[in-house]
Amino acid sequence: MNEIKIFSPATIANISCGFDVLGCCLDSVGDEMVIRKTQEKGLKISKIIGEDLPLDIHKNVAGVAALAFLEKLNKDLDFGFEIEIYKKIKPGSGIGSSAASAAGVVFALNELLNKPFSKLELVEFARKGEELACGQPIADNVAPAIYGGFTLVKDTDPLKIIELPNLDNLYATIIHPLIEIKTADARAILPNKIKLDDAVKQWANVGSLVHALHTQDYNLFASSLTDYIVEPYRSKLIPEFEKVKNNALKEGALGCGISGSGPSIFAFSRGNQIAVNVAGAIKHIYKETNINFNIYISKINSDGLKIIDAK
């Protein structure tokens, strides 16, 4: 194989009760990437379409993740690689734009080189890219992109990822108000200490959400999607958050919360029709403001990254 074209999915991290640990993978929202072997040795990003992002491999998360992969491979290859990125996920949207590039490139390299690394090792390389984007080697977006479905970051040092089952008919509606929230601001607004009462409710929810996924229990899943710790602070940074959440729940959504560090808001629904209804019920909220937005509906993707073409 000399060239591979992949779909690199968007992801939802910080799923309500699961701040920094629970993520899931989307299906109809994502970037495309082409990675091909070149006669010239080394690594370069030859093309980025759709967004103004650095071609410099040390400044682009795709380059940094690929370098981590090649360094660990530690082989003197007699060819090099070039990367093309077709960006559809807006950087800073909160649905894993940087993670899609970081996870995508290491997945593609692994395929081109006959899979020398495990999924866990790919997450390790991809999180080096995330470190460039947000200062910390977070894994809660790159893990669901690589494993698919729902993932739990059990530990970061050493890294341990738990693959969780998906609900069989689960859809997400995502609304992305086109405002900028700096990840640093979204972190700075969080308290250093939390109340024990809140912590108890939160970890009960994480446990019951995991159980709900294992037992296909939509009611338990819905009742676990409450965040007592982060959302009360971060939601203040997102205009109309409460209205969006109330309308989504009224329309039958199972739950609604902040995707990543925002500004995107996700709502989960059982089945496509409810997800479509939720989209209809929330988009008029931003239409009544001067805030532009994008809206997406996607099934939760159990497979993660996908090969579109290989030659």
Active site residues: 130, 183
Q: Rule CB under 6 A: say whether 91 interacts with ligand ADP.
A: yes
Using the 8-state DSSP alphabet, how is residue 181 labeled? -
Complete DSSP assignment for 115-171: --S-HHHHHHHHHHHHHHHHSS---TTHHHHHH-SEEEEEEETTEEEEEEPPPTTEE
Q: What does the block give as tokens for 158?
A: 């050493």
Q: Rule CB under 6 A: say whether 96 interacts with ligand ADP.
A: yes
Name which of residues 19 to 58 contact ligand ADP (CB under 6 A).
53
Task: Tell me which stretch binds ligand ADP (CB under 6 A): 70-78, 95-103, 107-115, 298-306.
Answer: 95-103
Q: Rule CB under 6 A: say whether 83 interacts with ligand ADP.
A: no
Q: How many residues does the chain have?
A: 311
State the minimum distance, in angstroms, from the CB of residue 87 to ligand ADP: 6
Rank residues 102 and 222 by Cβ distance to ligand ADP and give the closer one.
102
Whole-number Å distance between alpha carbons of 232 and 230:
6
Query: What are φ and ψ of residue 21, in 5° steps?
Result: -125, -35
Rank residues 14 and 202 by Cβ distance to ligand ADP and give the closer one.
14
Rank residues 49 and 310 by Cβ distance to ligand ADP and give the closer one.
49
Rank residues 141 and 247 by Cβ distance to ligand ADP and give the closer one.
141
Task: Tell me which stretch binds ligand ADP (CB under 6 A): 98-106, 145-153, 205-213, 223-231.
Answer: 98-106
Q: Rule CB under 6 A: say whether 144 interacts with ligand ADP.
A: no
With contacts defined by CB under 6 A, how many residues of the chain interact with ligand ADP? 19
Nearest to 151 by CA among 28, 21, 8, 267: 21
245, containing H or E segment: helix 241-250
User: Residue 242: is it exposed, middle or buried by C-beta count within 10 angstroms (0-12/13-18/19+)?
Assistant: exposed
Rank residues 43 and 274 by Cβ distance to ligand ADP and give the closer one.
43
Among 8, 14, 16, 101, binds ligand ADP (CB under 6 A): 101
Q: Find tokens 């676990």 and name the residue.
A: 224
Which residues sit at the interface with ligand ADP, rule CB under 6 A?
53, 60-62, 85, 91-99, 101, 133-134, 183, 260
